[in-house]
Amino acid sequence: MTLPTLHEEYEGPSPSSGPQSKLLEDWLPLGAVQQRNRLQDIISRKPYHAVALLGSGSILALIWLRALLMTSNDSSSVMLGAHEVPIQMDGLLIQDDSAMFNPYRFTPDEAYEDSKDIVIDPFKCRALPKYTSHLTACANSGLDLTEREVAYRGKQYKTRTLAAIPGVQLANDSLDESRLARVALKDPYASRDLPDEKISEILYDLSTDRHLTDTQCAAIFPGLFEELDRAASYWRERGGIHMRDLDKGMPQANVHVIIKRNRLYLKEPYRIGPNSRTRATLAAINDAIVTAVEPIPDVEFILTVEDMVLDKGTVDQSAMLALGRKKSQPNLWLMPDYGFYAWPEPAIGAFLDVQDQTLAFESRQTWQDKFGKLFWRGALLNQLRTDMALDMTDYDWAAIQAIDWKHPDNVLSPAEHCKYKYLLHVEGIAYSGRLKYLLQCRSVTVIHDLEHIQHFHVLFNSNTSSPDQNIIMTPAPKFDHLPAVMSRLVANDAYAERIANQSFAYWRKMLSPASTDCYWRRLWRTYADVQSFKPELTAASVPYASFKLTGTLKWNPN
């Protein structure tokens, strides 16, 4: 089957000046929900207009069509006009080379020579590297991450992942190739006959897309939600979460939260907690709510922003949301820590800015430019850190020093950590919030067997024989084997560089703002599945908007 071009469909009007342009002009200013509903209406009542809208070059139109198709009862095809378009769960599948239907179009002589199946999917598609004429259509590879050999004009190429938001330039082609590819895209408002020299190179980075559906989240961030499934299983075996399971944790909770009708409310108790932790956590929760494109179930929960949940009788049996947990605390639900929103007190700032700064830093250096030492700075908060600092300082590969916060001359920014090939992570009193920042560098992060678990620790791959290894974990006990581990890394620089490259690409995606939003929303869905009561608003329920302006749950007129 070959679809007709838009010109054939409309028999005359130019795509840049006809109904296609008017549709796009009317459709783009709408809000997210209205865009989706309008497109659904167009597909059902005016399918030819849907073809025009999709042919307009609007990435958003494709995203919404994809979402509609993925929730359609008929998973095999959809009718656009008189033409049945076969689909699959990873996007539209257009047979042959009917490129005029594809806003990411290519001219006939630019088609893949070994494939007649073309996927239109802005979330996961593949593009020939560094091709700067027209955006090459995506080979049919779905949502998996396997490379695919294709023939193009008599030459063999490996395709690479194309990910998600226009307008981001990348300084170094070698960076972050697991989710970024250099592609060319025409201005969707311009004529399809735009000369090649007017086509700009862009990157489409899905890890900054804050409006993913739950299905898209699961496909893009595989494995991220395993900790939530574990917690749900624990509570399901105990008959679900009841209000008494929240009451048990109230003595240590920082805030009592209700999400009702996709709105955030707060109740007593409210304890501000250390620095800006509670406010940052609530801001992250609100972000995940307002960026959602699907309904969020009504949930009621308590959370703590302390380093760890202490065993205070019944508190340690509660259904608390916490930053970290021990293996002996299966009742706790793990949430992203406050630093994934922002941590201003040590002058780190917003997490997204840290990602930008580390990417910029790495784009200015190569692997060989880095110092070949294991770097650590930190306060000697426990015996493990003290022993490590004393025992490892004299090795040639060690750049290990304690921090005196009264005279922090040796403190580096997160981006400056990227000067080193090897970065050491050591737990403090409980979990250490530094790890997520270390993982933003194209370096080898070395950890010990961690006692405290965070929400993303399930993603660690320390298997030395795995091509997807993303971290080094020293064998227990603690750092006894660190010298042997470092000797191997220093002696096998290519092996270390491979881990650094894999880690850099993997963790920048899996700890991205999009992944954090996805995790929060999945947390609420999973929690709601085992919640045995219905959240209700009362006179004591304070809208988050009011709290954000006053910083309190009780207004004091004095």
| Residue 309, pLDDT score | 83
pLDDT at 219 over 90: no
Residue 227's pLDDT is 98
Q: Please, what is the angle between helix 47-54 and helix 32-45, to 10°?
A: 130
Q: What percent of the chain stands above pLDDT 70? A: 60
pLDDT, tens only, 502-553:
999 899 989 999 999 999 999 999 999 999 999 999 999 999 999 999 988 8
Q: What angle do CA 409, 410, 411 make, to 5 degrees?
A: 95
pLDDT tens digit sequence for 455-491? 999 999 999 999 999 999 998 777 888 999 999 999 9
What pLDDT does 158 receive? 38
Residue 525 has what pLDDT? 98
For all residues of the chain together, what is the average pLDDT?
Answer: 72
Task: Quote the pLDDT of residue 26.
Answer: 66
Question: 197: which DSSP letter?
Answer: G
Question: Taking Cα atoms as reference points, which of 414, 419, 373 lies closest to residue 393?
Answer: 373
Residue identified by tokens 């307008």 is 167
C-alpha to C-alpha distance for 349 and 538, rounded to whole angstroms: 35
Peptide bond into 86 cis (omega under 30): no
Inform me whether the pLDDT recorded for 350 exceeds 60: yes
Domain map (residue ranges) of the chain: 6-209, 231-337+517-550, 343-453+457-510
Structure tokens at 371: 């110092």
pTM to 2 decimal places: 0.67
Q: Looking up tokens 């995203």, which residue turns up?
A: 63
Dump pLDDT digits (tens) for 252-287. 999 999 999 999 999 998 998 889 999 999 999 999
pLDDT tens string 355-411:
999 989 998 999 999 999 999 988 777 788 888 877 788 899 999 888 776 766 667
| Euclidean distance between CA atoms 328 and 311, whole angstroms | 11
Query: Once rounded to an integer, what is the mean pLDDT over residues 415-425?
Result: 96
Q: What is the pLDDT of residues 305-347, one digit of tens each?
A: 998 887 655 566 899 999 999 999 999 999 999 999 999 988 8
Burial zone of 430 (CB within 10 Å; 0-12 exposed, 13-18 middle, 19+ buried): buried
Q: Alpha-carbon distance 375 to 416, whole Å?
A: 11
Identify whether the C-beta of residue 364 lies closer than 8 Å to the C-beta of residue 387.
no
State mean pLDDT over 72-96.
Answer: 34
Using alpha carbons, select from 445, 450, 444 the residue that is nearest to residue 327: 450
**CATH numeric code, 343-453+457-510:** 3.40.50
Please tell me the predicted confidence (pLDDT) of residue 517. 97
CB 486 within 8 A of CB 395: yes
> Residue 77 in contact with residue 87, Cβ under 8 Å?
yes
Instruction: Give pLDDT, residue 423.
Output: 98
Q: Is 158 exposed, middle or buried (0-12, 13-18, 19+ CB in 10 A)?
A: exposed
297 in Cβ contact with 528 (< 8 Å) = yes
pLDDT-derived band of residue 86, with 50, 70 and 90 as boundaries?
A: very low
Would you give the DSSP letter of residue 198?
G
Contact assessment for residue 246 and residue 530, using Cβ atoms and an 8 Å cutoff: no
pLDDT band, very low/low/confident/very high, at 27 (cuts 50, 70, 90): low
Residue with tokens 């894999």: 502
Q: What is the DSSP letter of 137?
A: P
For the record, the structure tokens of 284 come out as: 């992250």
Q: Check residue 25 and give its pLDDT.
A: 61
Q: What is the pLDDT of residue 276?
A: 93
Q: How far apart are the C-alpha atoms of 166 and 189, rounded to whole Å?
A: 14
- Residue 240 near residue 532, CB atoms below 8 Å: yes
How far, in Å, are 176, 353, 357 from residue 350 at the CA level?
21, 5, 11
**pLDDT computed for residue 390 by the predictor:** 73
- Asked if 161 and 180 count as a contact pair (C-beta separation under 8 A), the reply is yes
Asked whether the beta carbons of 15 and 23 are under 8 A apart, the reply is no
Q: From its phi and psi, is residue 123 left (phi > 0), alpha (psi between -120 and 50) or beta?
A: alpha
Query: Cis bond leading into 251, ω under 30°?
Result: no
The whole-number average pLDDT for the span 131-148 is: 28
From CA 432, how far away is CA 321, in angstroms rounded? 17
Half-sphere exposure of 278 toward its Cβ, with a 13 Å CA cutoff?
23
Q: Helix crossing, 383-392 with 482-491: angle to 10°?
A: 50
Which DSSP letter does residue 281 get? H
pLDDT of residue 35: 62
Q: CA 76, 82, 83: angle at the middle one, nearest 5?
A: 45
